[in-house]
């Protein structure tokens, strides 16, 4: 197996492992948010959580697959490691971006659902008797 193919294999295994790790983190910790957003409806929260994670996997695996090709020849181990580091770095940045985007979606959903619970933002000027109360 030449150095280029070895680089590809290492790139794929690192990227896939990283994606699975980040997706699992999102899946485990995002659930609490979603249960709160859907007012304790756990089955709905689980369903939305699952759908979000599937989307996360699809986008990341798609990116990893598209970014695989190096476009130049790798002859030495040093060149292989350099190419690998560049590629994995890009995957990490994509994962980071996706992760923060997901957090943003979660916090938006949470804020939107909690707004109906807010008390009046201003203090009353006084109190009066209400007839028939």
Partner 1 sequence: MRQLTVLYDPNCGLCRRVQAWMVLQPAYVEIVFVPVNSEEARCRYPDLNHSLTLTDLTVITDEGAVYFGPKAWIMCLWALRHYRAWSLRLSTPELLPTAKRVISMISQNRYKLEGLGKMLLRDSKAR
Quote the CA–CA distance of 111 and 37 in Å, as a whole number.
8
Tell the residue number behind the tokens 């150095």, with chain if given. 3
**How many residues of this chain interact with partner 1, rule: CB under 8 A?**
17
Window contacting partner 1 (CB under 8 A); options: 4-12, 32-40, 100-108, 123-131: 123-131
Q: Does 121 bind partner 1 (CB under 8 A)?
A: yes
Site for partner 1 in 91-120 (CB under 8 A): 115-116, 118, 120
Complex with partner 1: residue 71 or 121, whichever CB lies closer:
121
Quote the CA–CA distance of 109 and 129 in Å, as a whole number.
39
Q: Does 39 bind partner 1 (CB under 8 A)?
A: no
Query: What angle is formed at CA 37 by the lines to CA 32 and CA 43, rounded to 5 degrees?
Result: 70
Tell the residue number behind the tokens 């560049």, with chain if given. 86
Complex with partner 1: residue 72 or 127, whichever CB lies closer:
127
Window contacting partner 1 (CB under 8 A); options: 2-10, 46-54, 63-71, 121-129: 121-129
For 22, 23, 24, 44, 103, the CA distances from 29, given in Å and listed in that order, are 11, 10, 8, 16, 10
Q: Does 130 bind partner 1 (CB under 8 A)?
A: yes
Q: Are 34 and 40 in contact (CB under 8 A)?
A: no
Complex with partner 1: residue 78 or 112, whichever CB lies closer:
112
Complex with partner 1: residue 40 or 120, whichever CB lies closer:
120
Q: Torsions phi, psi of 28, nearest 5?
A: -70, -45
Q: Which residues bind partner 1 (CB under 8 A)?
A: 115-116, 118, 120-133
């Amino acid at each position: 197996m030449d150095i280029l193919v070895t680089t590809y294999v290492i790139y794929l295994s690192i990227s896939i492992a990283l994606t699975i790790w980040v997706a699992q983190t999102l899946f485990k910790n995002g659930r609490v948010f979603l249960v709160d957003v859907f007012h304790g409806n756990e089955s709905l929260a689980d369903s939305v959580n699952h759908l979000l994670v599937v989307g996360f996997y699809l986008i990341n695996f798609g990116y990893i697959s598209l970014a695989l090709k190096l476009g130049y020849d790798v002859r030495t181990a040093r060149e292989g490691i350099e190419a690998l580091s560049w590629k994995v770095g890009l995957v990490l940045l994509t994962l980071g971006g996706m992760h923060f985007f997901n957090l943003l979606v979660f916090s938006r959903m949470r804020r939107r659902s909690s707004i109906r619970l807010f008390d009046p933002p201003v203090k009353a000027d006084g109190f009066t008797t209400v007839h028939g109360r």
